[in-house]
Chains A and B, each alone.
Chain A
């Protein structure tokens, strides 16, 4: 039986978390949902609160994976981040939006690409 895209997604997020823990980040929350958006991973990197979007790929032929995070996707991430900050009453903290792209090779291995400070609000 083949993998569903959810399986691939979960696998990717697991890999991303491992990667971040290795880098010294503290994972705070996974799959945070607000009404209008979703954040794959919320983590802490020193003074920064980091909102991470994980993007999974099986093909490399469609250009930069970052290009797949379009305007609307960014909007929904930003919206979710705002909700998160508000609900948890987090103030006076520098935040960052990072993107991790994970390329799933056919032999089951992954290649991870990490883009720090990938985009910003308006």
Chain B
């Protein structure tokens, strides 16, 4: 008997409906799966067979053909196990009632018949709702995630037997519901706080500016000065995610399969710190069917690259497109997919390979060619895209011995949020949200200087031999500083402060390499 039911597949962050058709004829026993299955889909027949037998059903005789339509798109992943098993049971009349056309089934089967969670349930549910699906049958472990989509009935099942009995009308499973607002608000506190960091007032100020305008920042300092500690605390001074943003981030994590076992909704800004041996594909995303990389996983959060010049040159250069566009398009033979990548880049590095260059206490042992090679890794176009360069010096003995007495993150976050609000107002009706993303035209429109400020900027450009691009950067950063100050126009002090964050603009900057 021919049975048709629905499942879903993902193309990037968009799901589409996959029809699973099961039919059989009497003859030599066997089965085949058609519709461009990948290895994981093809293997499903062994899992399905044992899941059916171990759930107390009979694996029906005959030759089964399972078709996954549309037939011209490659299907991947184990999520078709459940619909295939349901299809076989229904085709052999072991599930009595007719299957509804408004269901989709998602789930991997264990050999004992348990339904396992799969990746990408959240984006699939979003798309399924748009396609007019009413009910989604998923593993119990995926239920929270699926229930984030309102207007869908989520039927959580533990095993195949439960699913079959539900469909036959033997048992009733009430739809799974979660309180999305309670979930959203419950988990917004950060464990790390800025007040834990000793000293480094200058760097903290720079990070506050970076957070306020979503500027990229590079910290240079000797080992142990607190760069990593500072970076890890940046999410705590960023304004909290809105619910829509939280869902956007959660979708990306769902597709990557990083959600299972954790809370269903990601409520905090992501902080990603890939190791410096990560490949460019790991950073940007890729694969036969492209998956999100680190830049996308850091979407709306922080991408922290520690030991910045230790990354492969290729990796650093591929960062340029997402830094510019806030998204990244990965093309492969099978698909070309665009993932969002609006992250704030926070980079940290030592002043030289040994770490002690220009240090007042210790002596650097690096030969000059090593220094040159180290700094040479950072290309001009890349440095140009980093708005703030800040030095994080070694702590003095007194500072080290003292108790940390910095401002708590909450206070900084309030100032940052106020500055962000001003920017929201300013960019209403445009597609940008922060000062760092202003186009040159917008820079001219919004960054009006008073006379004194103009004079300082001119002097700075003359003396520091800055490029045209740096000029724009200074204006953007000073706009943010003025916003933090609550000032309508950009004043001399704002420009002056912004200028000091361009220390690397002359080659090698004050490190003079």
Contacts and interface: CB of A to CB of B under 8 A. Distances in A.
B224 interface: no
B28 A85 contact: yes
Interface stretch (B29-37, B311-319, B330-338): B29-37
Give the dominant DSSP class at A's interface. mixed
Given A94-B62, A96-B61, A122 B32 contact: yes
A82 interface: yes
A99 to B, nearest CB: 13
B30 A94 contact: no
Q: Which of B28, B29, B30 has the most CB of A within 10 A?
A: B28
12 contacts: A78-B28, A82-B28, A92-B26, A93-B27, A94-B26, A94-B29, A95-B27, A97-B28, A117-B29, A120-B30, A121-B30, A122-B32
A81 interface: yes
B63 A121 contact: yes
A19 interface: no
Contacts of A81: 28
Interface in B24-64: 25-32, 61-63
A4 B308 CA distance: 77
Q: Which of A48, A92, A94 has the most CB of B within 10 A?
A: A94
A81 to B, nearest CB: 6
Contacts of A117: 29
Contacts of B25: 92
Given A85-B27, A93-B26, A120-B28, 16 more contacts: A48-B61, A85-B28, A91-B27, A92-B26, A92-B27, A93-B27, A94-B26, A94-B61, A95-B26, A95-B27, A95-B28, A95-B61, A120-B30, A121-B28, A121-B29, A121-B30
A120 B30 CA distance: 5
Contacts of A93: 26-27
Contacts of A97: 28-29
Nearest to B49: A120
Contacts of B29: 94-97, 117, 120-121
Contacts of A82: 28
Contacts of B28: 78, 81-82, 85, 95, 97, 120-121
Interface string A86-122: 0000011111110000000000000000000100111
A85 B28 CA distance: 9
A97 B62 CA distance: 12
Contacts of A92: 25-27
Given A48-B61, A121-B63, A94 B32 contact: no
Nearest to A93: B26
B193 to A, nearest CB: 61
Contacts of B32: 122
A121 to B, nearest CB: 3
Interface in A26-72: 48
A117 B60 CA distance: 11
Nearest to A81: B28
Interface string B350-387: 00000000000000000000000000000000000000
